[in-house]
Amino acid sequence: MAVQVGIPTSRGVFEAFVAGPEDGRPVLLLHGFPQTGLGWEGQIAALAAEGFRVAAPDQRGYATGVRPEDPAAYGMDSLVADVVAITGALGWPVFDLVGHDWGGAVAWWTADAHPDRLRTLTVVSTPHPGALARTLRTDPDQRERSRYMIEWRDPATERRMLADGARELRALYGGGVPARRVEEYVRHLSRPGALTGALNWYRAPRPRHAIGATGVPALYVWGTEDTAFGPAAAEETGRHVKGPYRFERLRGVSHWVPEEAPGVLNRLMLEHLTAHAGD
């Protein structure tokens, strides 16, 4: 059973859900927008049951102890440094990394910056940043899907999302997230400063350099009904991975894979982790 703890680091205290034997193989789970570490509930239970030590932190902006006001504090270098700080505080010199949505982007960049720290990489929904950048240049469909990334930089976004009982925020989950979990997310993000912290990920300066091809053994899972990331970027991702790579399309599944298709995702993750147990 997962317990919520505070992980003190030099960058602040990150709340996290942890489970599994303390001496188990470590796995870090990174959530996306607009969620929290709770989004991994199904995966935490499945991994812990197989003997893994799992931690799912609330990331920068979502964590009450790490919520700077300046959007510049949410650049990718800072987000990757948070991963290093959290795993350092946990005493994990090498670990398996899993990310969804924005957490997936951070996972790709962490694999690029610290490949020696990762045993495996699993990314859900989010294509490789190089693949996304290319399709934003060449694919009108992906450009249209990604318009929100620019629109949400508007400082009025928080007020709009939380208006009328958070109607617009609730609509983002599109039926792919259980209603009780939506209520938990909305309650968390309605607290003072929380939604601004989450949206600052979109307002932060973009990385100044391109990401390289990923050499860490990688599993990429994408739902065919994802409204944020289309097929062009998903299929392009394999061209940006130079290590062992597995791409799984989930037919009829939306962007919210961890909560909409937990059983399938758990099976794929465990297969991937087991296949690279000695890496």
State residue 141 phi and psi, 5-degree precision.
Answer: -60, -45
Instruction: Give me the catalytic one of 31, 202, 240, 276.
Output: 202
Backbone angles phi, psi at 158, to 5 degrees: -60, -50
**1: number of Cβ within 10 Å:** 7
Contact 106, 84 (CB under 8 A): no
Q: What token pair was written down for 147?
A: 């318009």
**What's the token pair of residue 162?**
């939380």
Q: Which helix (H) or strand (E) holds 247?
A: strand 245-250
> b/e for 239-259, b at 16 or more Cβ within 10 A?
ebbebebbebebeebbbbbbb
The C-alpha atoms of residue 269 and residue 232 are separated, in whole angstroms, by 23
| Measured distance CA(51)–CA(57) in Å, rounded | 19
- Whether the Cβ atoms of residue 271 and residue 51 lie closer than 8 Å to each other: no
Which of these is catalytic: 101, 112, 139, 226? 101
Q: Annotated catalytic, 202?
A: yes
Task: Decide if 101 is catalytic.
Answer: yes
Per annotation, catalytic residue among 128, 255, 272, 276: 255
**In this structure, how many other beta carbons lie within 10 angstroms of the beta carbon of residue 49?**
12
CA distance from start to end of the chain: 28
β-pair type (53-57, 12-19)? antiparallel
User: Catalytic site residues?
Assistant: 101, 202, 255
